[in-house]
Amino acid sequence: MWPYADDEVEVRRIQPYQASKRYRCPGCQQDIPKGTGHVVAVPTHAPDDRRHWHHGCWEHRHERRPGRTARAPRR
């Protein structure tokens, strides 16, 4: 779970051409491939704790239960 309040974080949008590495999204625990646009959340008082998130995972971070990852819908 993301421990920082919204007012403690600077959020930066990363354009696909800027995404030169692969990252692991803390929201869904899935890869963000190289060349994929995403967001970087940088805590203002702990910049080394920055994390790279999928856009959707960042937008829905408050709706996720702690320790849960995204699952495919049941059929």
Q: Give the pLDDT confidence of 19-32 residue by residue, as tens digits.
A: 999 999 999 999 99
pTM: 0.79
* Residue 75: pLDDT over 50: no
- Which residue ranges make up each domain of the chain? 6-63
When pLDDT is cut at 50, 70 and 90, the band that residue 17 belongs to is very high
13 vs 66: CA distance, rounded Å? 24
Does residue 74 have a pLDDT over 60? no
